[in-house]
Amino acid sequence: MYHTKRIDGREFNILIQGSGEPFLFVHGFPLDHSMWNAQIAEFSKTHLVIAPDLRGFGASKCDDEKVTMLDYANDLAAMLDEFSIDTPVNLCGLSMGGYIAWQFYRNHRSKLKSIILCDTKAAADSEAAQQTRRETSEKVLQNGPGFLAEAMPEKLFSAVTLSNNQAVVEQTQSVIRSTSPQTVSAALLGMAERPDVTEMLPKIDFPTLVVVGEHDSITTSAEMQEIANTIPNADFIEIRDAGHMSPLEQPEQVNSAIADFLKNR
């Protein structure tokens, strides 16, 4: 069931489904909660699934000029409080959702039970990457997100998905096209200044699963293997025939990896 909640003066759209231990899904950029549809369907059979649209994305509203990863993490903590969810959550974040997961770990540790990091990075942006984000932010504000919807599938999806699963590609493009320019720009500026969390990794003392698509070109398998090697006791899984959007591209493989992880921890 969808809930509309006002938190700190902003309106959020939050899907809550199922019952049991809470399981929070945090989407990537510039998407919305629907990228988790296959995980929501599966894990709401056994868990209380919470799948929000982050500030401004999907049906949530926002007119901030910049939103930091900590802002998004604080929103998630406030949502849990709004729903009186005080049992620690399993948190699954993809890419930007992973950047937010690091900040949630750093600032809201008492609300966490386990962490699932899909296709994400611990390192900050290089100077050049920050500059590209600032230019993209300007371009989106001037022209809208249409050019991103055209350009991103090449980077987001594996060749297998691009040729065999046009429905998923088009659905993702349609979400990107309908995201407000202001929201896309605010997230780009927030991502550009996100901190490097590499130093924090050896201290992470929660059960952690690291998931990556074998053909992910944005956050490579080697980079994610390195994250898994650095976090004590993290599990690592590479998803066959998937790119950056592994949970959307190969939901059965990802769901089964998550289910095994949750069962064994």
Alpha-carbon span 27 to 29, nearest angstrom: 7
CB of 29 to ligand MLT, least distance (A): 3
Alpha-carbon span 125 to 150, nearest angstrom: 23
Provide the binding-site residues for ligand MLT, judged by CB under 6 A: 28-29, 95-96, 191, 218, 244
Nearer to ligand MLT, 95 or 161 (CB): 95
3-class SS letters over 180-214: CHHHHHHHHHHHHCCCCCHHHHHHCCCCEEEEEEC
CB of 168 to ligand MLT, least distance (A): 14
CB of 87 to ligand MLT, least distance (A): 27
Nearer to ligand MLT, 254 or 262 (CB): 254
Nearer to ligand MLT, 125 or 241 (CB): 125
CA distances from 19 to 42, 48, 52, 260 (A): 12, 4, 16, 19
Tokens read off for 57: 């994305």
């894990």: which residue's tokens? 43
164-200 burial, b at 16+ Cβ within 10 Å, e below that, comes to ebeebbeebbebbeebbbbbbbbbbbbbbebbebeee
> Residue 69: what residue type?
M
CB of 259 to ligand MLT, least distance (A): 23
Nearer to ligand MLT, 28 or 251 (CB): 28
CB of 118 to ligand MLT, least distance (A): 9
> Residue 65: what residue type?
E
Nearer to ligand MLT, 29 or 261 (CB): 29
Nearer to ligand MLT, 80 or 148 (CB): 148
CB of 142 to ligand MLT, least distance (A): 19
